[in-house]
Structure 1
């Protein structure tokens, strides 16, 4: 469904006026003109501009048909749907609750300087992941773009996980899901995205949000090509060696190169190609406001490279860092 600023859409429960593009041509901020179930003035309208987006939108709509997901306080609420003229069986637009900003929009020093915020985000995401574990599904896309926050400067900030278009049954595919920076070791190894992989992604999300530097992912890559090997090498540099991948020649070659990149020197200046130390060292050397030791311990507990030893969401919620929730 094509959207444009100024357009008024009628959903099953209310009417909405599109005010501002938030993401491309498919996500808009809207004014709620009428809907007795929405208390606030704003909503988010999400449509689809490409075939992949249409598939994800349809999947997201169906996922919200699961009562436990639709009513979970840690997942962004789906308020309404707008019918598509092209497809009478699926909505052309989803109407979500308005959240003030996504986690990506929060500056690193602000995230470090607000001791409540990492706890609020962690508790919300882990609580959502705990539900997904119960339902035997995986989010596959936990990252700074899909965690939403409201009342960030208030006494009780609210965080929720959203964007369920990639939520799939656990174990349903061995394909490499997740974004490159947040991809878990077992996904790189070819084992598929699991509950433990979502937990890993939260750990990466927290670490990336604390630091202004690209700790994970390929954004600082200084060689041509070999994006996957670079990402794997950075995990090795930050958190130690990984198990070998499944018996797949391209994967084996990526891991072999990654092990070399992790220790390789730059021939131009004698420094390492991939700079920096361990994850703890990188987070400890950040300027004020500093990262608390308890938060460092918590992040390290999520980023265990052996997925079989990584905590579940339920176990992570019992970590002392979150038990001291204030």
Structure 2
């Protein structure tokens, strides 16, 4: 049984983790299972992640780094080592300065060069999951601005990396419930389809939208009315689906019958003008998003999953290929 680093820090005790590659002095807790630490001697900052309340997610992430395509990718946060001894069970990751969501207020200041660098890096990371060393196709089900880490944001070559691989699953390998958070959930996942790589491309589009807009647009965060006869969760889901319809366009009604009520209610919300949001173009125009940038994001947010671009195809978009 490993010790609780969080509880020890809360009691004011010093915590030193002994790894094979070094010793790590824990500095502070970022979450109950995530800590900032310093490498003894070199003072190199690192991030420590323990099992926390979900050992399955922890082990999934650790297992991902057993694949060369992940471990060697410069676009995925590096894992320095896994510590597993009588005292501690944790992963030691490279440290990056911040995350995309924390930088959102500076999106316009950082401008197109940064946004392009971020988009390229995320797409390159997604490419790595398409062929897990020849074994299977995987996908990241939780790409959002908090999981995109950044260092040297103000430099000509910012470092942008995707993190939190505990949300990686094999393609079509999960049907217990609908994955992806409500803001980043793709239309086909709302319909009840099994998760496939296109759904992560949708979440990349939402991630870039929310970063550049400096606010959450998708989801049900702004829901201000509901149909009382229906459960709250149905109302919330319907509002989020309605948002997609308003922002991007109509969604083909081929959903799993158990989600029919959500889609019926979504269309009701839209037709009655209850969801006060414009089109994607109108919302991004509020922050003066360049036309090429809007076109690129719209490309990622293609409603029909079978025509949505792959990461490799998205990397060929003219806006990304233009170095200006």
Q: 1:192 aligns with which of 176, 194, 218?
A: 194
Contact map agreement 1:142 1:198 (CA 8 A) in 2: yes
Output the CA distance in 2 between the equivalents of 1:47 and 1:229: 36
Contact map agreement 1:245 1:255 (CA 8 A) in 2: no
Q: Deviations over 1:2-52 (max 9, x none)?
A: 2133311011211101112212x11011011157xxxx72000011221xx
**1:213, CA displacement in angstroms?**
3.7
Contact map agreement 2:243 2:277 (CA 8 A) in 1: no
Contact map agreement 2:107 2:214 (CA 8 A) in 1: no
Q: Does 1:133 align with 2:130?
A: yes
Secondary structure in structure 2 of the residue aligned to 1:106: helix
**1:220, CA displacement in angstroms?**
1.1
Which residue of the partner structure matches residue 47 of structure 1?
50
Q: 2:257 aligns with which of 248, 256, 272?
A: 248
Contact map agreement 2:151 2:159 (CA 8 A) in 1: yes
Q: Give RMSD over aligned pairs.
A: 1.6
Query: TM-score when scaled to structure 1?
Result: 0.89
Secondary structure in structure 1 of the residue aligned to 2:73: coil
Which residue of the partner structure matches residue 116 of structure 1?
113
Which residue of the partner structure matches residue 269 of structure 1?
none
Output the CA distance in 1 between the equivalents of 2:56 and 2:256: 31
Output the CA distance in 1 between the equivalents of 2:64 and 2:275: 40
Structure 1 residues 34 and 10: alpha-carbon distance in aligned structure 2, compared to 1, 3 A threshold: farther
Q: Does 1:305 align with 2:303?
A: yes
Q: Deviations over 1:48-75 (max 9, x none)?
A: 221xx21100110011111111011100
Q: Deviations over 1:222-247 (max 9, x none)?
A: 13521111110100110111122433
Q: Does 1:78 align with 2:79?
A: yes
Q: How many residues were matched structurally?
A: 303
**1:134, CA displacement in angstroms?**
2.3
In the alignment, structure 1 segments of 5+ residues that lack a partner are 265-271
Equivalent runs, 1:1-326 vs 2, <5 Å = 1=2, 2-4=4-6, 5=9, 6-23=14-31, 25-34=32-41, 41-50=44-53, 53-85=54-86, 92-108=89-105, 110-114=106-110, 115-135=112-132, 136-174=137-175, 175-223=177-225, 225=232, 226-249=235-258, 251-264=259-272, 272-286=273-287, 290-326=288-324
Output the CA distance in 2 between the equivalents of 1:181 and 1:120: 23
Contact map agreement 1:27 1:45 (CA 8 A) in 2: yes
**1:138, CA displacement in angstroms?**
0.5
Greater than 3 Å deviation, 4+ residue runs:
none
Contact map agreement 2:129 2:138 (CA 8 A) in 1: yes
Q: Deviations over 1:72-127 (max 9, x none)?
A: 110000001121538xxxx821100000001111133x112222111111101100
Q: Deviations over 1:190-219 (max 9, x none)?
A: 112211111110000001111134310121
Query: TM-score when scaled to structure 2?
Result: 0.89
Secondary structure in structure 1 of the residue aligned to 2:21: coil
Output the CA distance in 1 between the equivalents of 2:118 and 2:214: 18
